[in-house]
Chain A
Amino acid sequence: MGSTLSDRDYVPDRVSQSVKIVVLGSFGVGKTTYVRAVSEIRSMHTEEAMTQAGEAIDDLSGVRDKTTTTVTMDFGRLTLTTDLVLYLFGAPGQDRFLPMVTQLMDGALGALVLVDTRRLDQSFTSIDLVERAGLPYAIAVNTFPDAPTYADTEIRDSLTMENSTPLVRIDARVRDSAKRALIALISNMLGRPHLETAP
């Protein structure tokens, strides 16, 4: 039980260093799809039971409702060099999982915020989170077929993005396309201008 893994399931033997990049974005923006497209192994998930105190805490009655929800967090792996592996974690998008997302960002190298142009306003929570965590990040517009297309400047304005923050357009289902968001993030961390061409 549990020990029927193949060699490919394990990290190559000489790998002794890992880095973590967190993928954020609102519910349904394509985080699971993204992690699945980029991962070299079938994407996996961890589960966590989250206990939350109910909103109504009444001192008089002394009743304190507790509800338990299961959070599923997708993750994937990319072996980058013979001694370095990258883990990608898709953070749950709903507001109620914020404490878990904050914890997840701890120890991360950087973050990607996936954006849907049909619901740009729903990206603010994620952007606020990475900024408050002080993580380097890139914005990746997941280009859904029926989504309106805006110029980069329009997106930057609506998201009040710093000019230095990379903005890329990707198709989260396609590995090479999805990978470009990671390249933009790391290039930017190296202080290199990331030359983005139209998709």
Chain B
Amino acid sequence: MSRGRQRTGMVRSYTPTGGVARPTRRTLDDATLLMVDEEKELRGLEPEPYRVMELCRPGRLSLAEVSYHLHLPRTVTTVIVAHLVDSGHLIARAPVPAASVHDTALLERILDGLHAL
């Protein structure tokens, strides 16, 4: 057996991203909320970014949900979404981390929400 390069999947993971291997921003989290800028044209988008935009158009979703619904690995989704954020097609809101909870208002809201469920 040769120990040459082996194909491990049907599609190489960089194909849907247009050959880009890394996201252009490091702030995209699994729990980052994504919103579509309705003004932006979808024309000219590659198939995978186009699918992301189509999926996100009816409402808000997190990055993890986009991965799940489009059956894409998380890293691939991150690369695509990063580009769409850069081009202004998507607006991203990162989750609030523990370190930035300076006042108790947010925690109070979370607690009230949990009690009400």
Contact = CB atoms under 8 A, between A and B. Distances in A.
A109 B60 contact: no
A129 interface: no
A85 interface: yes
B33 A85 contact: yes
Contact of A48 (B65, B73, B107, B113): B73
B97 interface: yes
A81 B64 CA distance: 20
Given A75-B64, A87-B95, A20 B29 contact: yes
A94 B2 CA distance: 32
Contact of B97 (A3, A48, A107): A107
Contacts of A155: none
Interface in A96-154: 104, 106-110, 134-136
19 contacts: A1-B51, A13-B60, A16-B33, A18-B96, A19-B96, A19-B110, A20-B29, A46-B64, A47-B74, A73-B74, A84-B110, A85-B33, A87-B64, A87-B95, A89-B64, A104-B30, A109-B110, A186-B111, A190-B107
Interface of A: 1-3, 5, 7, 9-13, 15-20, 44-49, 63, 68, 73, 75, 77-81, 84-87, 89, 104, 106-110, 134-136, 179, 182-183, 186-187, 189-190
Interface of B: 3, 8-9, 13, 29-33, 51, 54-55, 58-62, 64-65, 67-71, 73-75, 93-99, 101, 104, 106-115, 117
